[in-house]
Amino acid sequence: MIPRNAGLTQFAAAIFRCFASYAMSVILLTLLLVLVFIGTIEQVRIGLYPAQQRYFESFIAVFPLFGSIPLPLPGGYLLITLIFINILCGALIRAPKHLRRPGLLIAHTGVLLLGVWGFVTFHYSLTGYVDLEEGESASTFKDYLDWELRITELGNPGTPARQYVVHHRDFDSARPEKPISLEHPQLPFSVTIYRWLPNAAPVPDSGPDSVDGVTLVPCPTAAEPSGNLPGLILSAANAAPEKGLVWAGQRAPLVLTAGERQYRLDLAPREWPLPFSIKLLKFRHETHPGTAMPSHFSSRVEVREGDATREVEIRMNEPLRHRNHTLYQASWGPQNAEPGAQLYSVLSVSRNPAGEWALYASLIITAGLLIHYGQVFRDFLQKSSGKRST
């Protein structure tokens, strides 16, 4: 008599053998090689960050073959997940385990740890930037992607101002046919957002969305997230003016008056605290002779944590690592500065709770391969000596 679940068990065993097979390993690694090649080429066309999102952080990626034919490909997230399952099933669960050949088992364990590091980094790390002129200090860094609508009550200069913050994900789906209202019990007015634009520019206009002859129009998303200037169109109840525009690039903020009180509305990048403060001491910027292409740029900074200070040189390929934070020399500005003008340095900041896991995984992989190939070399020498004696 055949058990009822025998067919299900056989199907599960077949699936396991498929995921644990060498053929699956070859297919997945080949697809990953193709994806890395295409994603690297696409960085030149669409930019680093869009290529990273489209090809390496997705389940499915669509590559425009010959510029017009959509070619679907498995994304980097999907491929790395399948490779992790393949190694777990084939190299650790299915493979025979004995002390005679521990090297490969150790190496594959390191590869799995590297996959866990990638998962934690993707889901739990924060990336942003800090821009400093010489002599300036900062103890926070700005997020590349997250924006906040800040409503600040304007009061006496000597008293701290109350501020109300709304994350852009709470209203980024707003549109004229489905506006989103924002209220707070301590605010004497409410705000209704009619449109959110991830990247916008002001233009003269006299249409229904214009304010004082100006409106915001959508712009293509910038190749780098730091180049986006979002904006929104809103109306206010029980405050004046009743309609307004808030744009991240505006010099003068929108000010609402409710009774005898005034409130300033700004769009600003979300800020994250640093466990230390950083001060820019000196910024160096050099270009290739006769061109505007940078040949070298670096920042001499002072890192202060409590009463302890130290000076560090941050270069293009030499970041600063401190307390799960990594600071890279990203860029500088303004890009169209005249010779001798004051420049500011832009440092890319990454906060990763699994910052050192990649190093530990690499050391484990190295140790496993050294043990394995050391044993292979020893066996080769033993066989060679045995043949000579015979």
286 pLDDT band, cuts 50/70/90, is confident
Give the tens place of pLDDT for each residue, 168-208.
999 999 998 999 999 999 999 999 999 999 999 999 988 88
| Upstream peptide bond of 241 is cis (omega within 30 degrees of 0) | yes
Statement: residue 1 has pLDDT above 50: no
Q: What's the whole-number mean pLDDT along residues 324-353?
A: 81
Q: Is the pLDDT of residue 336 over 80?
A: no
Q: How far apart are CA 135 and CA 155, in angstroms?
A: 30
* Between 339 and 91, the higher pLDDT residue: 91
Q: Where are the domains of the chain?
A: 6-124+357-389, 127-139+273-351, 145-271
Identify the band that residue 388 occupies on the pLDDT scale cut at 50, 70 and 90.
Answer: low
**Which H or E run contains 12?**
helix 6-19
State the DSSP string of 333-361. Answer: E-TTPPTT---EEEEEEEE-TTTTHHHHH
4 vs 128: CA distance, rounded Å = 56
Whole-number Cα distances in Å, 372 to 97, 106, 238, 385: 14, 9, 75, 20
Record the tokens describing residue 24, joined without a space: 């699956």
What's the Cα-to-Cα distance from 312 to each of 167, 257, 298, 307, rounded to whole Å? 34, 47, 10, 16
- pLDDT class of 5 with cuts at 50, 70, 90: low
What does the pLDDT look like over 215-238, one tens digit per residue?
999 998 876 777 789 999 999 999
pTM above 0.75, yes or no: no
| pLDDT of the residue at 65 | 83
Measure Cα distances from 30 to 17, 27, 87 in Å: 19, 5, 15
